[in-house]
Amino acid sequence: MTGAEPEDTEDTEEMGETEGAEKTVRTDRTDDDGSHRGALGEFGTTSGAFIERTFREKILLVGVTLPPHTDDDTEAGLDELELLVDTAGADVVGRVVQRRDRPEPATYIGKGKVEELRALAEAVDCDTVVFDDELSPAQQGNLEKALGRTAIDRTAVILDIFAQNASSQEGKAQVELAMHRYRLPRLRGKGGSLSQQAGGAGGGLGARRGPGETQLEVDRRRVLRRVHKLEADLKDIAAHRVTQRKARKRSRTRLVALVGYTNAGKSTLLNRLTGADVLVQDRLFATLDATTRRLDLPGGETVLATDTVGFVRKLPHHLVEAFRSTLDVAAEADMLVHVVDASSPDPDAQMEAVRDVLGTIGAGEVPELLCFNKVDVAPDAKRLADRHPGSVAVSAGTGEGIDALLDAIAERLRAGTVAYDLLVPFDRGDVLAEIHREGEVLSEEAGADGMQVTARLEPSGAARLERFVIPRAAGTPR
């Protein structure tokens, strides 16, 4: 992370205004005037990210308890924010908490708490102050002026982590789009010093009038052009995904999506189930790009298993919108395997956060199988599984419980289909093709009067093929 130095421009703004002096990138953490500037939150860094990791910044965390939340909720949020800051490459040196009925419009926290925060920031010599809730552009500008250092929010930290970890072309485009959407209302002009307008007669407002445009307008137009370009590129990628999904539906291959909180072990589980080689690290948002592999179930069925991006509480809506095409895989899946970190201090809160995001993307109604992971290090994993009937407890690292998970996946998928015996005349190849298209063929052999086929069919497919279905003997399971 690098510091940043303000341009030598006169700052005449009042509290509540959003414009401020734009900052240039520095490699030290102290400005010439003695104030501290961290790159966390600087919107003009050459890397395109919010954080430059040339040194580990000192960070102060701020949490506000608002109804109906409790102080414990706030502390839990700050604990997670500290992990996010560590992942981003900085060190937390303290935290400040305030209880309020509603946020202060100008600075989010009260005036007295701002003074207390400034004093603490000077005492610990911190570089950046990070709020656990999203700040408006005006609040961010006012806080930076009052504190004499960078003030950012949880959203900026998460966006930066995504920017550092994205590897595929689609992932990079999605993250860049989310970052530009976040930056756009926070663009700050350099006042009159970089204005391309001709000066008017006299000073004050008259000096800003004339032909041309300000640097702020140039920056805003440049960002908007880039946003439109990224949106167009992602639409093309989304269209390609739609084509792939149509092909999968025609092949009747079932899709199982692994969803869950970040660092719950989804990638490790996919590797264990399918022999994939997805990157596995004990850190938040280690993998962002969806990976799909073939998975053979105990009954002989073959399905597709997809690892999705991890979720987190207060996931920025910019990311949800930008990653819509990637997250749609969960909405279109036949089943979700919801991977829960059983060693988490609050697995219920993590499950709720995941389900909130699933509801936002239209995947709230997809059948869900709870999978409590890390049973090898979490004694409560089996108790959690017992508390949620139909769930399983596994260790993706050691392989414990994996067979039970595979059996549960197969059983859940079969629950939506029924096995039928069909007799198809030899001259009706079109019917055989339709059976393969509509269902899962379990067996197929030539008989005296035609092809004898046993296949699992959904109700709609069985209705269309009803005249070829032959009765099963009493007591024969379907």
pLDDT at 67: 94
- 23 shares its domain with 149: yes
Confidence class of residue 253 from pLDDT cuts 50, 70 and 90?
confident
Q: Among the listed ranges 7-11, 60-64, 361-365, which one has the minimum average pLDDT value?
A: 7-11
Q: What is the DSSP string of 37-61?
A: --STT-S--TTSSS--TTS--EEEE
pLDDT at 407: 94
Last residue of a domain, one of 149, 165, 181: 165
- 305 shares its domain with 345: yes
Q: Which residue has the tokens 């490699």?
A: 27
Gap between the Cα atoms of 459 and 397, Å rounded: 39
Confidence class of residue 375 from pLDDT cuts 50, 70 and 90?
very high
Return mean pLDDT, the chain: 80
- 397 shares its domain with 438: no
pLDDT tens digits, one per residue of 416-469:
678 889 999 999 999 998 888 777 788 899 999 899 999 888 777 788 888 999
Gap between the Cα atoms of 184 and 340, Å rounded: 35
- 12 shares its domain with 132: yes
**Which percentage of the chain shows pLDDT scores above 90?**
44
CATH number reported for the structural domain that contains residue 86 in this entry: 3.40.50.11060
**Average pLDDT over every residue of 224-233:** 93
138 is a domain residue = yes
Gap between the Cα atoms of 91 and 204, Å rounded: 43
pLDDT at 314: 85
- 405 shares its domain with 452: no
SS (H, E, C) 78-141: HHHHHHHHHHHCCEEEEEEEEECCCCECCCECCHHHHHHHHHHHHHHCCCEEEECCCCCHHHHH
53 vs 129, higher pLDDT: 129
Per-residue pLDDT at 393 exceeds 70: yes
Per-residue pLDDT at 387 exceeds 80: yes
- 261 shares its domain with 373: yes
Last residue of a domain, one of 122, 141, 165: 165
pLDDT at 286: 64
**Average pLDDT over every residue of 311-319:** 83
- 263 shares its domain with 408: yes
- 301 shares its domain with 332: yes
Q: Among the listed ranges 50-59, 172-181, 309-318, which one has the minimum average pLDDT value?
A: 50-59
Gap between the Cα atoms of 101 and 77, Å rounded: 18
Count other C-beta atoms under 10 Å from residue 141's C-beta.
24
State the helix-helix crossing angle for 137-147 and 111-124, rounded to 10 degrees.
50
382 is a domain residue = yes
At a CB cut-off of 8 Å and minimum separation 6, what does 281 contact? Answer: none
Torsion angle (degrees, nearest 10) of CA 431, 437, 438, 443: 80
* Beta strands 451-457 and 418-424, pairing class: antiparallel
At a CB cut-off of 8 Å and minimum separation 6, what does 443 contact? Answer: 452, 453, 454
CATH number reported for the structural domain that contains residue 339 in this entry: 3.40.50.300
Nearest to 13, CA basis, from 114, 98, 140: 140
pLDDT at 342: 94
**Average pLDDT over every residue of 159-165:** 84
SS3 296: strand
pLDDT at 279: 57
Gap between the Cα atoms of 114 and 148, Å rounded: 11
pLDDT at 70: 93
SS (H, E, C) 160-228: HHHHHHCCCHHHHHHHHHHHHHHHHHHCCCCHHHHCCCCCCCCCHHHHHCCCCCCHHHHHHHHHHHHHH
21 is a domain residue = yes
Q: Among the listed ranges 59-63, 215-219, 286-290, 312-316, which one has the minimum average pLDDT value?
A: 286-290
Q: Which structure tokens are listed for 429? A: 């190849």
Confidence class of residue 202 from pLDDT cuts 50, 70 and 90?
very low
Confidence class of residue 71 from pLDDT cuts 50, 70 and 90?
very high
207 is a domain residue = no
- 326 shares its domain with 443: no
pLDDT at 100: 96
Confidence class of residue 471 from pLDDT cuts 50, 70 and 90?
confident
Per-residue pLDDT at 358 exceeds 60: yes
- 50 shares its domain with 81: yes
Angle at 428 (CA atoms; ends 426, 432), nearest 5 degrees: 95
Under a CB-based contact definition with an 8 Å cutoff, are residues 192 and 208 in contact? yes
10 vs 149, higher pLDDT: 149
Kindly tell me the burial class for residue 25, based on how many C-beta atoms sit within 10 Å of its own C-beta (0-12, 13-18, 19 or more).
middle
For residue 198, the one-letter residue type is: A
Under a CB-based contact definition with an 8 Å cutoff, are residues 333 and 367 in contact? no
Q: Which structure tokens are listed for 388? A: 């949620």
Confidence class of residue 215 from pLDDT cuts 50, 70 and 90?
confident
229 is a domain residue = no
214 is a domain residue = no
Number of domains in the chain: 3
For residue 174, the one-letter residue type is: Q
Gap between the Cα atoms of 438 and 276, Å rounded: 28
The listed range with the strongest mean pLDDT (18-27, 109-118, 310-319) is 109-118
- The residues that bridge with 91 in the sheet, in sequence order, are 58
- 326 shares its domain with 433: no
381 is a domain residue = yes
**Average pLDDT over every residue of 384-405:** 94
Count other C-beta atoms under 10 Å from residue 357's C-beta.
21
**Which percentage of the chain shows pLDDT scores above 70?**
79
pLDDT at 122: 95
CATH number reported for the structural domain that contains residue 449 in this entry: 3.30.70
- 155 shares its domain with 47: yes
**Average pLDDT over every residue of 158-178:** 85
Per-residue pLDDT at 37 exceeds 70: no
Per-residue pLDDT at 476 exceeds 90: no
User: Which residues span the domain enclosing 319?
Assistant: 253-415
pLDDT at 419: 85
State the helix-helix crossing angle for 169-183 and 215-251, rounded to 10 degrees.
140
405 is a domain residue = yes
Confidence class of residue 218 from pLDDT cuts 50, 70 and 90?
confident
Last residue of a domain, one of 393, 415, 437: 415
Gap between the Cα atoms of 57 and 474, Å rounded: 73
* Beta strands 255-260 and 302-307, pairing class: parallel
Per-residue pLDDT at 43 exceeds 80: no
